[in-house]
Structure 1
Amino acid sequence: MPALIPFEEIAHLFAAFEHTAFRLETRRGYATDRSGARFQAFLRGVDPSPEPGHPWNVNVRQKAEQGARFSRVRLIDEPPTEGQRFLMATAAGNVAAGEDIRVLERTIAEQLCLPDWDFWLFDSRLLVRMHIDDTDTTVGVEVVNDPGQVLSACRARDAALAAGRPSAEVWARVRSSV
């Protein structure tokens, strides 16, 4: 196994990147979401309210004002899991802050040969591979500078963004079927 570092040690990258920060989310849910009050309320039928003052959204707005861009593609199953539905329900706040969030069906991601692991890609130069255990808890991250692996992540990003659909569009369809 590669040397892992705590996620907190790469947190500075979210403010330091210059042009693009991209995330591929492949999990069916995340432990951090499930342990939060917003997720529990969502399970009881309460729609999550946007959080414009949340530090994540403040940073997204600041980076957008500087000309930088956050984007992500979330893989979903058919039907979406509770965790995937929650992420679609909360996406509006991130999008309002300036983040481009798209959704891609897992079957299409498999056809495109996308990775089956989560990662962040900063400025098309630095890959941060997330290592997540069977309980959907991030156990550490691997910082990758290898040009071949970074290029592969860039190709995955480009394919995922091209094939993904806006989260709000997919969420509207999912909501109407529940």
Structure 2
Amino acid sequence: MPSSVPSFAELLGRCERSAVHLELRDSYAPTDRFEAWKRGDRIDWQNRASWWHPYDQTIADAVARGVVIRRARVVSEPVSEYVRWEHYVTHANITAGEDVRWLPRRQATSIALPGNDFWLFDGALLRVHHFSGDGAVVEDEITADPETVKLCAAAFESVWERAIPHRLYEI
């Protein structure tokens, strides 16, 4: 069944000022890249052609247009193996132009958090990610409902304010 939700690239392509991403899970469905990392394979960060993906270019293009892109991750500590890998590959996000921060879950108790990961574009349009228990994407949902947008925007800003910049977050 085809999705009626616009692609991430399309939504970011329409974005004019800001895109924020809140991640709340300690693991997502495994990828080939994650499995390779678990086997000990490491990325040659000097060889950009070996790791630069279309996603990275989409981010870089938006940043070049003046879009500020921030990503915040709420993580349990000690971190899961998946989060350890995410921390490692965040070099690509930073290189593409994202600003990334990490918030230990124990510091999020007093924050009203939504139940799902999301992207918020220009403070007005949400792309909500719904995952299965094992971390696979079940579906994405688009909403501009003002109350939902307000909750998610406030949650992101509360997390961002407390979170640790990537360069300073040690796992």
**Normalised by the size of structure 1, how large is the TM-score?**
0.84
Task: Quote the residue 1:14 is aligned against.
Answer: 12
What is the 5 A alignment of 1:92-111? Answer: 92-111=91-110
**CA positional deviation for 1:7:** 8.4
Partner of 1:61: 60
Is residue 5–residue 141 contact of structure 2 (8 Å, CA) maintained in 1? Answer: no
Unaligned runs of 5+ in 2: none
For residues 18 and 129 of structure 2, the distance between their equivalents in structure 1, rounded to whole angstroms, comes to 18
What amino acid is aligned across from residue 42 of structure 2 in structure 1?
D
TM-score (norm 2): 0.88
Gaps of 5+ in 1: none
CA contact (8 A) 2:20 2:120 kept: yes
Q: Which residue of 1 aligns with 2:39?
A: 44
Q: Superposition pairs for residues 108-147 of structure 1, below 5 Å?
A: 108-147=107-146
Superposed displacement of residue 9, structure 1: 3.1
Give SS of 2:88's match. helix
Question: Identity of aligned pairs, percent?
Answer: 30
Q: 1:169 to 1:44 in 2, by over 3 A?
A: farther
Q: Is the 8 A contact 1:48 1:89 kept in 2?
A: no
SS of residue matched to 1:111: coil
Q: What is the rounded CA distance, in whole Å, between the counterparts of 1:90 and 1:7 in structure 2?
A: 30
RMSD: 1.9
Q: Which residue of 2 aligns with 1:29?
A: 27
The amino acid across from 1:48 in the alignment is I
Q: How many Å separate the matches in 2 of 1:21 and 1:114?
A: 18
Distance, in Å, in 2 between the alignment partners of 1:9 and 1:165 is 31
1:161 paired with 2:160, answer: yes
Question: Relative to 1, partners in 2 of residues 1:60 and 1:154: Cα closer, same or farther, differing over 3 Å?
Answer: same
